[in-house]
Amino acid sequence: MGIKNRLIIMNFLQYFVWGTWLISLGGYMIVSLKFTGGQVGSIYSTMGLASLIMPGILGIVADRWINAERLFGLCHIAGALLLFWASTIQDPALMYWVMLLNAMVYMPTIALNNTVAYGILSSKGYDIVKVFPPIRVWGTVGFVVAMWVIDLNGWSVSPLQLYISSLSALALGLYSFTLPACPPGNTKKDGSFLSAMGLDAFVLFKNSKMAVFFIFAVFIGAALQITNTFGEPFIHDFRALYPTSFAVLHPGLLMSVSQISETLFILTIPFFLNRYGIKKVMMISIIAWVFRFALFGLGNPDSRLFLLVLSMIIYGMAFDFFNISGSLFVETEAEPRIRASAQGLFMVMTNGLGAFIGGVSSGWVVDYFTVDGIKNWPYIWFVFAGYTLILGLIFPFVFKYNHKAKTTLLEVESASVTG
C-alpha cells in the first residue's frame, strides 16, 4: 500500500475515534446517566483544560526524545484504555477525571497526527502543501462516518459509542507503530519550552489590536463548544412530542450536516477574505453564531425541522470563518520568529481557555433553565444567541484593522485549508 493511502487511513481513524462520541456523549450522559447540565458541561470542558498544556508538552517530547509516530501510538493506546473505562462509569465525578485523562492523551494527537504526516511526506520528497490537504480531508470523512455509525446503530445514548471509540483508538495506536519512523530531528529540534507552549507570543498583547483579537478568540472559542455539548441532548428532549420524527430517530445524521457544511464552507474562505478582509469575515462568523443558536431556539424536529437544518448549514460558516480567518490574521501580523508560537497561542485561547469557559458556563445556563428535570431549550438557545450578539455589537468598534488583500498568501491558505 502506498504511503499516501497509509496516511489516509491514519487521518480517517484519528477523527473517527473522536467522532464516535464528541457529539453524542452529551446525550448519553443526560438521557441515560441522568447527569445535570453542569456536570455534562464540566466533562466537556476537560478538552479545553487539556488543550491548555498537553499539546505543547508532548510536542517538546516528540521534538527531542521520542519518535513522533511512537508517541502518537502510545497516546492512542492509553486513550483506548481510558475510553473503555469511561464506558463502565455512571458517576459524574469519576467520569470527569477519566475524560480529563483521555483529553490529555487525545488532544495532543491532533497536532501529532500532522507532525507524523509532515515528517513522512517530507522524507519521501512530497510537496506537503499540495499532498497533505487531500489526505487530511479524510479526517473529516472519518468524523462524519463515525457519527453515522453511532446514529444508524442506535448507540447515541448507549455506552457502546465509547466501546467503538476505544476499539478504534487501539487499532490506530497499534497501526501507528507500522508507519515509517519520524525521529525527533524531523521536527523543531531547537524549539524551546516557551515557544512550544506559545508563551513567547504573549509579546503580541503589547499591540492593542492583537490583544483585542486574542480576547475575542477566547469569547468566540467558548461558543464553539456549546452545540458539541448540548446539540444532541436538545434533540433527544423532543422524543415524547415527536417520537417518529427523523431528527429524533437520527440526531447524529442531523448533526453531521454541520461537519459536511464545514467542509464546503472551507472552499469559500479565499473569496471572502480577498474581497472583504479579515475583520468583516470574522464579523460574518459572529453573526452566523447568532443565527446558529437562534435557529436552534426557534426550531423543532417536526414542522420547523428546516430551521434546524438551516442552523446546521450555518455552522460551517460560523466555525470556518472564525478559525481560518483568525489563523491567517495571526500569520500575517506576527513576526516570523514567533509565528509558530503565535499560532499555538491562538489555539490555546480558542481550543483551550475558550473551550473550557464555554463548557462550564453553558452547563450553568442549561441548569438555570431546568425546572423539575424539564429544560426550557428556547430560552437556553436564546441566551447563547444573545451572548454572541453582544460580541457582534462590540467587536467592530474595538477591533481596529484595515484590510489589504494579499493574493499570494490567500492562495497558499486556500491550498492549506481544503483538507
Mean pLDDT of successive 10-residue stretches along the chain, which has 419 residues: 88 93 88 88 86 72 77 93 95 95 89 78 73 76 90 89 95 93 60 56 79 89 82 86 86 84 78 80 93 94 91 89 74 65 73 83 90 90 95 90 54 39
- Domain end residue (candidates: 125, 148, 183): 183
Residue 209 domain-assigned (yes or no): yes
Count the domains in the chain: 2
Residue 342 domain-assigned (yes or no): yes
Does 250 share its domain with 330?
yes
CATH code for the domain in which residue 209 is found: 1.20.1250.20
Residue 189 domain-assigned (yes or no): no
Does 301 share its domain with 356?
yes
Does 122 share its domain with 46?
yes
- Domain end residue (candidates: 155, 183, 211): 183
- Domain end residue (candidates: 129, 158, 183): 183
Residue 135 domain-assigned (yes or no): yes
What is the DSSP secondary structure assignment for residue 352, as one 8-state letter? I
Question: Cα 19 to the chain's mean position, in Å?
Answer: 10
Can you give the residue range of the structural domain that contains 246? 195-419
The three three-digit cell numbers of residue 357, written as one number = 469557559
Residue 410 has a pLDDT of 42
The tally of CA atoms less than 13 A away on the side-chain side of residue 128 is: 11
Does 269 share its domain with 358?
yes
Residue 201 has a pLDDT of 65
Does 232 share its domain with 173?
no
Residue 99 domain-assigned (yes or no): yes
Q: Which residues contact 63 (CB under 8 A, 6 or more apart)?
A: 184, 187, 188, 189, 191, 196
The answer to whether the CB of 198 falls within 8 A of the CB of 353 is no
Give CA separation, 250 vs 153, 247, 316, in Å: 10, 5, 20
Q: What is the pTM (predicted TM-score) of this model?
A: 0.75
Report the distance separating Cα 182 and Cα 185, nearest Å: 8
